[in-house]
Chains A and B, each alone.
Chain A
Amino acid sequence: MFITWIAKIVAALNSNTRPRQIAAAICFALLLALVPKANLLWVILFVITFFLKINQAIELVFLAIFDLLALLADPLLHLIGYAVLTLPALQGLFTTLYNIPILYFFKFNNTVVMGGLLTGLVLFVPVYLLARKGINVYRDNIREKIANSKLVKGFLKHPLIAGIKNTFGKAYNFYSNLR
């Protein structure tokens, strides 16, 4: 499974996918990981990503990775959420939101949900910019070097890997023609 994830990341990075699609996927994965599941807010965020042109493979891989990090971040998220939800200036707003029927299912009044949502939104832009920059750097400078390295070339020339590559290449072409 881990190899599959690596393969997906490698494939996304090396294909002609827009860097912002990959960056947005990473950002959404972070947001979805920070917001606890089992509430309507998470479901809506997750469903939205299905209609956006982002790399969903990357999103799912990073969601799994960030989920582990979110476990560690929960106490901090709780503190942030608590601080915001108990902010006197926002009491009126939250009371109004709390009394809007459908928002009840968003569980926004939960400290971890609010902390996760705010942290995710705040981190969204910097992570997006960083990820896009990183992808560009990789594609412009590193990708060629790796691809032309003797190690990779030797690895790809190995009969077994060449066979797998050939088989997968044909299958991919067949699938592409079908579409």
Chain B
Amino acid sequence: MAKKPPKLFRKEYTRDKFDRTILKKIYIKEYKDYVQKAAHTTAAGTIKVEPGIDKKQRKKLRKIAKSVKKNTGFVLKGRLILLALIFGAVFVFGALFKDMLIEHGAEAGLEAVFGAKADIQGLHFQVFAGRLSFEHLEVADKQKPMRNLFELGQTAFDIDLWEILKGNVILEKIMCRDIKWDTPRQSSGALYAAPPAASSSASAEQTEPEKTGPDLLNFTITAEDAAKLIEEQKQNLGSTRLLDELTRDYSTLDEKWRDQITQSSGKLEELSASVEKIKSIKVKDIKTLADAQKAYNTLKPAVNDLDTVKKSVTGISTGLKKDLARVSTDTERLADAANADIEHLGSMVGLSSAKQGGVVDLVTRGILRRYVGTLYSYIYQARTYMDMLRPTSEQKLPGEKPRRLTGIDILYPTFVKPKFWLKDMSFSVVDDKSFGTIQGELQNATGQPDLIGKPMTWSLRQTAGGRSVELDGSLDLRKNRTPVLELTLTMENFPYKLEKGLEFLSVSGLDCRYTITAGFSLDNRNYSSGSLRIKLTDLKLEYGEDNLITRGLKKALAGPGYISIGAEYTIDEKGNLKLEITDNNLDTLIGAVIGSAMGELRDEVRARIRTELDKQLKDARAKYNEQYKKLSALKKELDGNMSKINEYKKTVDAKKKELEKKIRDFKNNLLDNIKDAL
């Protein structure tokens, strides 16, 4: 059955056109020959394939015609049109749905970073202006799914589009109004059901055993207690020991001196007769030299005896005086020993004045645990989020080797920017019911701070209901930087209540307002340290029983009306808090008041102990005094003897002088008479 040739060959062609359109596009000699054979030249000089070919010929010509058609042009127009259509569709779709797509993309990104649901409303992206804005954004708290980690009101981002083409997200400026934290949610913000994770702040907030403080109330003492105390401590008391010793010592002294003095008194008695006899000599009545010489001779032994007795009494007196001087020293020693014993006994009833350090420590620890601990956990969280912003491409999988040579990336002068960089952000909340007024700024937030060479810095000011918080800080995650975090926190006029731990001061509760100025620094090992100053004002203490301490506290706090505490603290990598109070006025105030009261009490207790000690030493002291009196009496007797001796000596000496003069006169008269006689 005759068939029509394919469409390409039905037309009539001029020779040139036939060559150009068909033959030039046949590259197989066999095909070329076949076509030339099938084609005929018409009377008009044109070339065409005549109809009436068989099926086999048609089939072959169709195959050739198809390949000829394919061999035209360089571009696949169909595919290009399809591509253009796809691009067009994408563009139209993007124009219509770009905001929605970005919204979903941003929500997914935030959910990946924060690990909880994120919701954005009213997002609008202006491509050529590089501005992204939205009406509302909220991100749930991973730890507390029924609360938002933060919420943003009307917000606008200025994005560097040029950098987007380099794959970097650089936010030139973010302006945000009505930022809120920790707000309640209508629905759970958990992405998936996860077991409740242990709070990162647990370590910082872990409960420490309550500090009860020293027992300051056990300081009173009764007479019975004093007697009992002296009895218990008798072995350790120097005064009783010394008193016994002296009493024993003085009894031997008495014996020693009494005999000597009695002997001297006897001798003196014997001498008194001789002295009386000498006294009775009347020198005027003596008429001769012989009588005078005789009287003088009777005087001589008495003078010698008197000298001997005087010498003996002087020796006894010197010795006795020496012993009496020792007795005087011993009296002083006894008084000193008694005072030392009173001091010792006084110390046994807990009158130390250095036991007021617990209050400040307790208050400071409470505030630190409550606020700085929470802050520490927030910082820890923030650091985790910053780490998540680091590009994952930096983390190469171990053991993954490319098949081909990787070559070298030649670097040219350029400013390599981080994958994410928030240059400047400012936000504010004006007179919110819950948060009051907030103003905040954040600069240079990035996961690659080494590329920008700056740390992330921020400042936050919040004022609400007379309270205010100021938080300024910097987070430096650049390599080998220490400290990583530096923070200054000022919290003013916040209420504080302490209900436990002050019982040892007879205080059942402390209600006040506080102001904190705290410095905080954290290094690479999560080891943090800082200093803080706490000022407690509007102090209201609920006192228990009325005693010395409560009176002291009242008196102390009535003065300045505030408590000021300075402290330095460290939190190690495990979250353990170490606190050292550097200065505080409370201890000084309480110390001064309690110290004064303690002084009074100490005197009272000492007097009581002195009375009791005196009572107990009474017998021993009486014996001692008796001995002392005896010695004194001996001394008196000795002194009497000495004066007698002196009187005798005076009398004898006078008589002696008188007699010597008489004898000299007699001798002179006698010589004159002899001279006259001669």
Out of B30, B83, B162, B410, name the residue touching A111 (CB < 8 Å): B410
Interface residue tally on B, bucketed by range: 35 or more
* Residue from the list B28, B67, B83, B405 in contact with A112, Cβ < 8 A: B405
A52 at interface (Cβ–Cβ under 8 A)?
A: yes
B 60-77 to A, binary, CB cutoff 8 A, 1 in contact else 0: 000010111011011110
Cβ of B31 under 8 Å from chain A? yes
- Interface flag for B29 (CB, 8 Å): yes
> Known contacts being A17-B71, A110-B408, A139-B29, is A51 close to B162, with CB within 8 Å?
no
Q: A85 contacts which chain B residues (CB < 8 A)?
A: 410
Report Cα–Cα, A136/B407, bound state, in Å: 39
B479 interfacial by beta-carbon distance below 8 Å: no
Contact A104 B167 (CB under 8 A): yes
With a cutoff of 8 Å between Cβ atoms, the chain B residues found around residue A123 in the complex are: none
Nearest Cβ distance between residue B21 and chain A, in whole angstroms?
Answer: 14
Residues 91-130 of A at the B interface (beta carbon under 8 Å)? 91, 94-95, 98-99, 101-102, 104-105, 107, 109-113, 115
Does B166 lie at the interface of the complex (its beta carbon under 8 Å from any beta carbon of A)?
A: yes
Q: Are A70 and B404 in contact, CB atoms less than 8 angstroms apart?
A: yes
Complex Cα gap A113–B27 (Å): 37
Contact across chains for A78 and B405 when beta carbons are under 8 A apart:
yes
A 23-37 to B, binary, CB cutoff 8 A, 1 in contact else 0: 000000000000010
B413 at interface, CB cutoff 8 A:
yes
Instruction: Tell me, in angstroms, the Cα distance from A101 to B167 when the chains sit together.
Output: 8
Q: Is B675 an interface residue (CB 8 A)?
A: no
Decide if B409 is an interface residue (CB 8 Å cutoff). Answer: yes
A82 contacts B by Cβ under 8 Å: yes
The residues of B that contact A115 with a CB separation of less than 8 Å are 407
A83, chain B: closest CB distance, angstroms: 11
- Is there a chain B Cβ closer than 8 Å to A16's Cβ? yes
B414 and A16: CB pair below 8 A?
no
B37 within 8 A of A: no
Query: Interface size of A by Cβ–Cβ distance < 8 Å?
Result: 44
Are B79 and A113 in contact, CB atoms less than 8 angstroms apart?
no
CB-CB contacts of B22-55 with A at 8 A, as 1s and 0s?
Answer: 0001111111000000000000000000000000
A21 CA / B76 CA spacing, docked (Å):
12
Distance in angstroms between the alpha carbons of A77 and B404 in the assembled complex = 11
Find the A residue at minimum CB distance from B163.
A101
B412 CB-CB contact with A under 8 Å: yes
Given contacts A53-B74, A98-B412, A139-B28, contact A81 B167 (CB under 8 A): no
Q: A104–B165 Cα gap in the complex (Å)?
A: 9
- The answer to whether B408 and A111 have CB atoms under 8 Å apart is yes
Q: Which residues of A contact B79 (CB under 8 A)?
A: 50-51
Chain A residues with Cβ below 8 Å from B162 are 101
**B71–A18 contact, CB under 8 A?**
yes
Is the contact region of chain A dominated by helix, strand, or loop, or is it mixed?
Answer: helix
Complex Cα gap A176–B66 (Å)? 10
B403 close to chain A: CB less than 8 A: yes
- Check if B75 sits within 8 Å of A110, measured CB to CB: no
Provide the residues of chain B in CB contact with A143, threshold 8 Å. Answer: 28-29
The answer to whether the Cβ of B197 comes within 8 Å of any Cβ in the partner chain is no
Cα–Cα distance between A112 and B27 once the two chains are bound (Å): 38
Contact B407 A112 (CB under 8 A): yes
Q: Which chain B residues (366-419) contact chain A, with CB distance < 8 Å?
A: 403-414
A18-B27 contact, Cβ under 8 Å, with A51-B83, A95-B413: yes
- Asked if residues A16 and B26 are in contact (CB atoms below 8 Å), the reply is yes
A138 to B166, CA, bound (A): 49
Given A16-B28, A101-B162; A109-B71 close (CB under 8 Å): no
Other-chain residue from B30, B83, B163, B411 in contact with A109 (beta carbon distance below 8 A): B411
With the chains together, A91 CA to B413 CA distance in Å? 10
Q: Which residues of A contact B64 (CB under 8 A)?
A: 16
A17 touches B27 (CB 8 A): yes
Residues of A contacting B414 in the complex (Cβ-Cβ under 8 angstroms): 95, 98-99
Smallest CB separation, B85 vs chain A (Å): 14
Q: How far is the CB of A47 from chain B (nearest CB, A)?
A: 9
Q: How far is the CB of A104 from chain B (nearest CB, A)?
A: 5
Contact (Cβ within 8 A) B408 A52:
no
Complex interface: chain A residues within 8 A of B193 (CB):
none
The CA of A74 and the CA of B403, in the complex, are separated in Å by 11
**Distance, CA A51 to CA B413, complexed state (A):** 37
Q: Please, which residue of chain A has its CB at the minimum distance from the CB of B26?
A: A16
Bound-state Cα–Cα, A91 to B167, Å: 24
The reply to whether A109 and B412 contact each other, CB–CB distance below 8 Å, is yes
In this complex, the member of B66, B71, B74, B412 whose beta carbon has the largest number of chain A beta carbons within 10 angstroms is B412
CB distance from B181 to the nearest CB of A (A): 36
Compute how far the CA of A74 lies from the CA of B28 in the bound complex, rounded to whole angstroms: 38
- From B67, B165, B166, B409, A15 is in contact (CB under 8 Å) with B67
Measured in the bound complex, the distance between the Cα atoms of B70 and A18 in whole Å is 9
A75 within 8 A of B: yes
Instruction: Give Cα A78–Cα B79 distance, bound, in whole angstroms.
Output: 35
CA distance A15 to B25 in the complex (A): 12
A91 near B412: Cβ-Cβ < 8 Å: yes
B307 to chain A, nearest CB (A): 131
**In the complex the two chains form, is A111's CB within 8 Å of B407's CB?**
yes
CB distance from B31 to the nearest CB of A (A): 6
Task: Tell me which residues from 41 to 94 in chain A have a Cβ below 8 Å from any Cβ of chain B.
Answer: 50-53, 70-71, 74-75, 77-78, 81-82, 85-86, 91, 94
* A109 lies within 8 A of B409 (CB): yes
Residues 127 to 176 of chain B near chain A (Cβ within 8 Å) = 162-167
User: Quick check: is B80 within 8 A (CB to CB) of the other chain?
Assistant: yes
Q: Which residues in B have their C-beta under 8 angstroms from that of A21?
A: 71
What residue in chain B is nearest A18 (Cβ atoms)? Answer: B71
> Which of B30, B164, B407 is close to A113, meaning CB atoms less than 8 Å apart?
B407
Known: A52-B75, A143-B28. A102 touches B410 (CB 8 A): no
The reply to whether A51 and B75 form a contact with Cβ atoms under 8 Å apart is yes
Complex Cα gap A161–B407 (Å): 49
Closest residue of chain B to A92 (Cβ to Cβ) is: B412
A94 touches B412 (CB 8 A): yes
In the complex, which residues of chain A have a beta carbon less than 8 angstroms from the beta carbon of B67?
15-17
In chain B, positions 441-466 with a C-beta closer than 8 Å to chain A are none
Once the chains are docked, how many angstroms separate the CA of A13 from the CA of B164?
47
Q: List B contacts of A77 (CB < 8 A).
A: 405, 407
**Shortest beta-carbon distance from A42 to chain B in Å:** 12
Cβ of A95: which chain B residues have Cβ within 8 Å of it?
412-414
- Nearest CB in chain A: distance from B425 CB, A: 24
Given A18-B71, A104-B166, A75 contacting B405 (CB threshold 8 A): yes
| A144 interface neighbour in B25, B29, B80, B411, Cβ under 8 Å | B29
Name the B residues within 8 Å of A107 (CB-CB): 409
Q: Determine if B409 and A110 form an interchain contact, defined as CB atoms under 8 angstroms apart.
A: yes
Q: Which residue of A lies closest to B164 (CB)?
A: A101
Q: A74 CA to B29 CA in the complex, in Å?
A: 41
Pairs across A and B, CB under 8 Å, 16 listed: A16-B31, A16-B64, A16-B67, A19-B27, A51-B83, A53-B74, A70-B404, A95-B412, A95-B414, A98-B414, A101-B164, A101-B166, A109-B412, A112-B404, A139-B28, A140-B29
- Which residues of A are at the interface with B, using a C-beta cutoff of 8 A? 14-19, 21, 36, 50-53, 70-71, 74-75, 77-78, 81-82, 85-86, 91, 94-95, 98-99, 101-102, 104-105, 107, 109-113, 115, 136, 139-140, 143-144, 176
Nearest 7 pairs between A and B by C-beta?
A112-B407, A101-B165, A16-B67, A74-B405, A111-B407, A98-B412, A95-B412
Q: A16-B28, A112-B406, A144-B30 are in contact. List 13 more A-B contacts (CB 8 A).
A: A14-B28, A16-B25, A21-B71, A51-B75, A52-B76, A53-B73, A74-B407, A82-B410, A98-B412, A101-B165, A104-B165, A110-B409, A111-B410
